[in-house]
Structure 1
Amino acid sequence: MKNLQIENIVETILVRSGSSVQVELEDFFPGDRFAGGKYNFGTHTITLYIEEIKAQCLQLFKSLDHFEDYLEVVFAHEIGHAEDRELAELVQKMNETNHDFTRKGIALNIEENAWNYARKLIPQNLHPFMDTIIHYSLQPYYEALEVSA
């Protein structure tokens, strides 16, 4: 997929959201995590890691047939972080607590907030597809808290 197509997808979702967040496209996440996107609260910037998103799509769906939809969902989720009015307060609470279980619960809350916002940006016909992504995205948080989804 050419960068122009990716930029068009990003622009469409960005306009739909009404967000003022800045967006950068990179190939790979610089750390050792398997991150498709990252929201930077300090700079109000989302960075999308295109090759990581492709790898995630392949891992979950075994092909790139749904890459464009997958990209939309990942980007909508990152916009969910950018537009989360509770994010600053939740991050502060997470940084202030020494209780690991509480920290993990707050991390789950942050992710659920982003997914709930993202759901508003994704067309209804893609919600079953999105639900699969959400399930796999939240699974490690539920496992860390030893609860089921």
Structure 2
Amino acid sequence: MMLDRIEADYGRSFADVVADMCLHTQRRAQRAPQRASISNALDSRNPLLVRAIKAMQANIETPVSMDDLAEAAGCSRRQMERLFVKYLHQTPYRYFRDLRLDHARGLMRETDLSVTEIAVASGFTSPVVFTKSFRARFGYSPAKGRKAV
């Protein structure tokens, strides 16, 4: 909201500079929800779970193994899997895939990147796997989503 006010008073380029200074990579639409801390969003303060999710967010564009994510969280892969199922009712793999798909859908809305470029920028090693995963999660293909934007 503040960036919209700055843009109205001083122009888009100045608002973009302020956003960059505040470490915002994307401007949030007025009706979009604000980003909460991970522990508040999860309703869990488990430090291992929070570290695992932060590692996922930091590596959203990179295919990372579950073992590497568990190591970044400071726990075993099995312990990480149990935490995800206990608190989030899904596997860490599924959570990470959905996080990457949400990121891809955001890129689709905010950029002019091709579907293949979005797949790569979202950590998918294959456009075919990306398309199948995207369709399974959202009910339509990335190409249709691109046309709708």
TM (norm. structure 2) is 0.31
**Higher alpha-carbon Rg:** 2
| TM-score normalized with structure 1 length | 0.31
Per residue, is there more strand in 1 or in 2? 1
